[in-house]
Amino acid sequence: MHSISVTNALLVAFAASAAQAQTPPGSQPSTSRSLGIAYGSNGNTTVTPNILLPQPLTLVQPIVSLEQQLNGTHMLAMVDLSINQNSAMSSLNGTGPQAQGLEPCRTTRLHWLQTGLTQTADGTFVNTTSALGEYGGPRPPANDIPHTYAFYLFRQPANFTLPAWDAGRDYVASSAPTRMNFSVTAISDVVGAPIAANYIRVQNPNSTAPGTANNGTCPAGATNGTTSPTPVPYTGAATNTQARSGAAVIIGGVAMFAML
């Protein structure tokens, strides 16, 4: 009887852990609600957390869905959490603090930032504004580790502006070097935890020796990033959500190519 109780406890713990697995383990912000992501011309490749996808498939903007009816305005961010810190600093021509990535000596890069999303009666999201950062498909370097790309759906407060860490940069072009060192944590600090999330992994198809790419001068055992952004209070009003099943979220558009 004792062994059965222990087994049941382990199963409960495993189920609880799985319920939290909509964002990469150990990363922030986090959520237990799954965001539907589907790639392919007909959305026939459905993303499950941590799935390894062929890089060419991810070059076209995916369909995004959620089994919930949402009120108000929302925004979506897609962020690479596996950028080599040295690459980021080279692009930014600086040595300042870096947003934390998933692995040692890794930081972040923005791949998509769409604000002004509203939902129609059938559950579809439509863009009411141009993207702050147009979609740029994953392009990790050859022979690097698979990069992790996380999608986050947030409520968008009225009069939203980017927090200090991310503000003052031009994100429009998918190849913009200013997309490096983007902090989704800073956004979460001022608008709240993401409503839903999901994440994929992508590796460069030309890799012949995966994981052997030069990581610059990063010391062995170094920590992720160099710092965490300081929260900046936001005074805007958040919107509410109302549960209802079967809501599809579709954000149209054609991919532009990112550098990483």
pLDDT of residue 167: 93
Average pLDDT (216-239) is 43
pLDDT digits (tens, 9 = 90+) for 166-217: 999 999 999 999 999 999 999 999 999 999 999 999 999 999 988 887 765 5
pLDDT of residue 252: 42
CATH of the domain at 228: 3.90.280.10
Are the C-beta atoms of 30 and 193 separated by less than 8 Å?
Answer: yes
Per-residue tokens: 129: 């504004």
Identify whether 123 is part of a domain.
yes
pLDDT digits (tens, 9 = 90+) for 108-161: 999 999 998 877 776 667 788 899 999 999 999 999 999 999 999 999 999 999
Identify whether 16 is part of a domain.
no
Identify whether 203 is part of a domain.
yes
pLDDT of residue 203: 95
pLDDT of residue 237: 32
Domain count, the chain: 1
What DSSP string runs through 207-247? Answer: -SSTT-S--TTPPTTPPSSS--PPP----SPPP-B---S--
Domain range for residue 40? Answer: 22-214+223-255
* Count of C-beta atoms within a 10 Å radius of residue 138: 26
> Checking DSSP bridges between strand 63-65 and strand 36-39, what pairing results, if any?
antiparallel
pLDDT digits (tens, 9 = 90+) for 75-111: 999 999 999 887 776 666 555 678 889 988 889 999 9
pLDDT of residue 186: 95
Is the whole model's pTM more than 0.85, yes or no? no
> Checking DSSP bridges between strand 51-53 and strand 196-202, what pairing results, if any?
parallel
Residue whose C-alpha is closest to residue 188's, from 148, 158, 154, 157: 154
* Count of C-beta atoms within a 10 Å radius of residue 3: 7
Q: What is the mean pLDDT of the chain?
A: 77
Q: Is the dihedral of CA 92, 96, 99, 103 positive or negative?
A: positive
Identify whether 9 is part of a domain.
no
pLDDT tops 50 at residue 241: no
Identify whether 2 is part of a domain.
no
Q: Which helix (H) or strand (E) holds 18?
A: helix 2-19
Identify whether 157 is part of a domain.
yes
pLDDT of residue 111: 98
